[in-house]
Amino acid sequence: AAIKRYQFDIQMKNVSRLCHAKPIVTVNGRFPGPTVYVREGDRVLINVTNHVQYNLSIHWHGLKQYRNGWADGPAYITQCPIKSGRSYTYDFNVTGQRGTLWWHAHILWLRATVYGAIVIMPKPGTPFPFPQPAREFEILLGEWWNNDVELVEKQGSRMGLPPNMSDAHTINGKPGPLFPCSEKHTYAMEVEEGKTYLLRIINAALNDELFFGIAGHNLTVVEVDAVYTKPFTTQAILIAPGQTTNVLVQANQPPARYFISTRPFMDAPIPVDNKTATAIFQYKGIPNTALPLLPHLPSPNDSTFALNYNRKLRSLNSPLYPANVPLHVDRNLFYTIGLGKNTCPTCVNGTRILASLNNVSFVMPEIALLQAHYYGVKGVFRSDFPDRPTTSFNYTGAPLTANLGTSTGTRVSRIGFNSTVELVLQDTNLLTVESHPFHLHGYNFFVVGSGIGNFDAARDGAKYNLVDPIERNTVGVPTGGWTAIRFRADNPGVWFMHCHLELHTGWGLKTAFVVEDGPTPDQSVLPPPKDLPPC
């Protein structure tokens, strides 16, 4: 094991897209930001120095941070933000994980431009459980706004106005030739006929689940969220914000230029954004003048593709990488996901949208929850988050416009150390049904079941996959349906859980788990680092 050091200077940079230039927040002046390359077992020290006017923190999405929530990064959950002119060193070990993850700013909407890849190579002498690729490429999918993202965020999250859609989707920061002023800067990956490549695909978009494909070429999925999968071949992948997917692609077609493309999946009854970002899969020696072909992607509302695709995802579950699914459950949780309106005297039309879990819309505290928990500061949060909804109703029946008494508060759930948890996330038709990608910090979980309609414990529980369910850190709860996850609460600390659609997070679709310390000192939260940003 080695020590890997990185310096992240948060600085403004003028970037021009779609015929407009604007200053954006970046790491080291790069967009997307630099890739963090580490090896399983390494210790990583990343010094973040903030040279911009915004307060900010960085989250290492998908890294478990065992006993070490201090390095996790969500602002006001595990740390207070790094103020302008200050530094903080994220100091963590990468244990028991290998594959593709990513990092992003974790405050307001700054992650729109502050994000990058994390590549964790397996331990020396441990090969991939799939054919060795000739080369690897990192593919970061994102969104671009012509407006200042802070203004867009304020409008959508705080003032109750409908959100703006982004002006473009991007592949490695570039929209591609279907957008104005973008042709010259299209991202291209050069391949040689007959060779196999590994693509490390990351969905860093703020608000869109995405389809992704390469014209004429099949993709073989081998890993998601830094967990190896049973390989399967598909024309397109589906990837939600927060998720990562590694695919193998063979350059086995007639040498030419092929479009790589990505566009949203959206099967909710709300306006569909179907702009397509493109890049080029370019065979070596082919001139730039050849016209590329567009891939065949599923249509934007293709829920059947989505269901089938997600069913194909299985953990590899080999002797070296077993799926240790909890078979017995100590704590059963059932959370409804609702959007709803609330009165807001200062908002346009007098109402604003609130999003809630079990009718609780989460309010961010002013002191980081992990600090409050560690030092026993009273009055920062309440540990009475309901295990199940207080009102039961036909969750996915006719649309409900009432908010069923949505309350606001900084309420979390307390979980005993090492207990096994089952959490069913149930989408509801409060305001509208919609797919929600849920992300849990500090853990991977197993997706033991998923379905459309209302969850029924007896009927649906009997059909769980407890053998090789996919293990991941972010899962899509289907539109008008439910998803059941299981995990063992063996990582003490305070762990955020939220919808990774930034708009919904801003509306309060989030909560946290306080996982208690275990009986021995080596099962307890580590002491905080000396340079932890003050609140």
Point out which residues bind ligand C2O (CB under 6 A).
59, 61, 74, 104, 106, 242, 439, 441, 496, 498, 500
Q: In what order do the strands lie in the sheet with 209-214?
A: 188-191, 277-283, 257-265, 209-214, 236-239
Closest approach of ligand C2O to the CB of residue 497, in Å: 8
Considering the complex, state which of residue 98 and residue 439 has its C-beta at the smaller distance from ligand C2O.
439
Closest approach of ligand C2O to the CB of residue 106, in Å: 6
Closest approach of ligand C2O to the CB of residue 80, in Å: 16
Closest approach of ligand C2O to the CB of residue 280, in Å: 28
Taking the C-alpha atoms of residue 77 and residue 439, their distance in angstroms, rounded to an integer, is: 14
Considering the complex, state which of residue 75 and residue 415 has its C-beta at the smaller distance from ligand C2O.
75
Nearest residue to ligand C2O, using CB? Answer: 61
Considering the complex, state which of residue 38 and residue 280 has its C-beta at the smaller distance from ligand C2O.
38
Q: In angstroms, what CA-CA distances link 171 with 244, 369, 427?
A: 14, 35, 30
DSSP 273: -
Considering the complex, state which of residue 241 and residue 264 has its C-beta at the smaller distance from ligand C2O.
241
Taking the C-alpha atoms of residue 87 and residue 91, their distance in angstroms, rounded to an integer, is: 13
Q: In angstroms, what CA-CA distances link 384 with 33, 158, 329, 387, 388?
A: 39, 26, 20, 9, 11
CA 505 centroid distance within chain: 12
Closest approach of ligand C2O to the CB of residue 240, in Å: 11
Residue 435's φ and ψ, nearest 5 degrees, are -80, 135
Considering the complex, state which of residue 61 and residue 373 has its C-beta at the smaller distance from ligand C2O.
61
The number of residues in the chain equals: 535
| Helix, strand, or coil (residue 196) | strand
CB of 309 within 8 A of CB of 238? yes
Closest approach of ligand C2O to the CB of residue 461, in Å: 28
CB of 463 within 8 A of CB of 252? no
Closest approach of ligand C2O to the CB of residue 337, in Å: 16
CB of 293 within 8 A of CB of 214? no
Considering the complex, state which of residue 64 and residue 441 has its C-beta at the smaller distance from ligand C2O.
441
Considering the complex, state which of residue 106 and residue 411 has its C-beta at the smaller distance from ligand C2O.
106
CB of 94 within 8 A of CB of 120? yes
DSSP 155: I
Closest approach of ligand C2O to the CB of residue 299, in Å: 28
Residue 285's φ and ψ, nearest 5 degrees, are 90, -5
Q: Is 530 exposed, middle or buried, given 0-12, 13-18 or 19+ CB atoms closer than 10 A? A: exposed
DSSP secondary structure letters along 7-51:
EEEEEEEEEEETTEEEEEEEETTBSS---EEEETT-EEEEEEEE-
CA 158 centroid distance within chain: 22
Considering the complex, state which of residue 442 and residue 469 has its C-beta at the smaller distance from ligand C2O.
442
Nearest alpha carbon to residue 452 among 307, 339, 239, 311:
307
Considering the complex, state which of residue 305 and residue 381 has its C-beta at the smaller distance from ligand C2O.
381
Considering the complex, state which of residue 33 and residue 213 has its C-beta at the smaller distance from ligand C2O.
33
Closest approach of ligand C2O to the CB of residue 472, in Å: 12
Considering the complex, state which of residue 248 and residue 369 has its C-beta at the smaller distance from ligand C2O.
369
DSSP 85: T
Considering the complex, state which of residue 203 and residue 282 has its C-beta at the smaller distance from ligand C2O.
203
Segment (H or E) for 188: strand 188-191
Closest approach of ligand C2O to the CB of residue 227, in Å: 16
Closest approach of ligand C2O to the CB of residue 500, in Å: 6
Closest approach of ligand C2O to the CB of residue 417, in Å: 22
Taking the C-alpha atoms of residue 85 and residue 48, their distance in angstroms, rounded to an integer, is: 10
Taking the C-alpha atoms of residue 428 and residue 397, their distance in angstroms, rounded to an integer, is: 8
Taking the C-alpha atoms of residue 282 and residue 280, their distance in angstroms, rounded to an integer, is: 6
